[in-house]
Amino acid sequence: CECIIFSIDDLFRLVPRALPVHCFGAALLRLSPGCSSRTKTQRRHASHFTYQPDPVPTQYGPTQKMNLFQSVTSALDNTLASDPTAVIFGEDVAFGGVFRCTVGLRDKYGKDRVFNTPLCEQGIVGFGIGVAVAGATAIAEIQFADYIYPAFDQIVNEAAKYRYRSGNLFDCGNLTIRAPWGCVGHGSLYHSQSPEAFFAHCPGIKVVIPRGPVQAKGLLLSCISDKNPCIFFEPKILYRAAVEQVPVEPYTIPLSQAEVLQEGSDVTLVAWGTQIHVMREVANMAQEKLGVSCEVIDLQTILPWDTETVCKSVVKTGRLLISHEAPITGGFAAEISSTVQEECFLNLEAPISRVCGYDTPFPHIFEPFYIPDKWKCLEAIKRMINY
């Protein structure tokens, strides 16, 4: 049978914001008698990657087993404990947020430091700019990255330009904006977007995306301490799927530095966030099936990005594949491709390949066809090797 399947949890999470009131009834779709929701739901929601945890870090002291949302909570806890001016605010953060990233913090630090806001993203960021300009540390949460667009004007026209327009007399560099990001398996068009490319065109802000719990805590603490406004996108599918040994004490990971996760000689694979774990699988498949050695690079910071590490790798391998979940046209892969073409033209052995989402809204039942999975990436490697 052909059917569309919503779980009850999916329905009540998505309907209030994703659909107008008059569409609520349309979302309650009945299954035909012979349709097994259990089988089809499991098949459609099967993960398109296998999470590969990083080695246990030893340089930052004792560690504790955490998933990604717990590592974010730990970073926020460390900040509130060490910085008496720090405040956390957003929709529902007082009770822990929809993904539980702020759970327990209001009870520990008080309602004046962890508090809810009205459902108004423009107001959340505008308030955060004012808090940061006044000298405090502002940590704003946008409940989903998909809902950051109402705040676009405040981020791009105010936060990013505040320092420049005053000749550095005042700034809002103490502002960090957090938002769950990327596909989640059943989020559809209003809960699965990856909007990093919109902000990569805007000087004055930094855009950061971690691949796992260890990076999430270190990079988030770096964003909070950085003297520029930062946007920190958190891969929501990894909130519970990603588990690592994370240092308990505060530590930072430098921004604007890509990390070479695996060295190789034939193809450079560049990605960020969830897609890094797809690239790691692709590298293993390419080695086993094709005898191709892949170098895997996690960009980590989208703006300003680490051109030196990427170009150095491409000079060595002669081939580059970039993959992200966002639509291909105007996606950040285009910027990387253009820069590498300018810097490494004489070293390229094949055209640069981009394996990305399609130029459509993010689909629901067709999500398995939309995501840039390992098989699409492996085919791209074959084409480059045989070019």
Active site residue 22: no
Give me the residue label for tokens 């404990």.
Answer: 81
Q: Where are the beta strands (DSSP E) in the chain?
A: 63-67, 87-90, 114-116, 138-141, 175-181, 206-208, 230-235, 243-247, 259-262, 267-271, 294-298, 301-303, 320-327, 353-357
Burial tier of 187 (Cβ tally within 10 Å: 0-12, 13-18, 19+): buried
Spatial distance between the Cα atoms of 151 and 140, rounded to a whole number of angstroms: 11
Q: Given 48, 91, 121, 141, which residue is catalytic?
A: 121
Q: Give the count of beta carbons closer than 10 Å to the beta carbon of residue 125.
A: 28
Q: Given 48, 91, 186, 191, which residue is catalytic?
A: 191
Spatial distance between the Cα atoms of 174 and 230, rounded to a whole number of angstroms: 9
The answer for residues whose C-beta is within 8 angstroms of residue 42's C-beta and 6 or more apart is none
Active site residue 342: no
42 within 8 A of 231, measured Cβ to Cβ:
no
- Catalytic residue numbers, as ranges: 121, 191
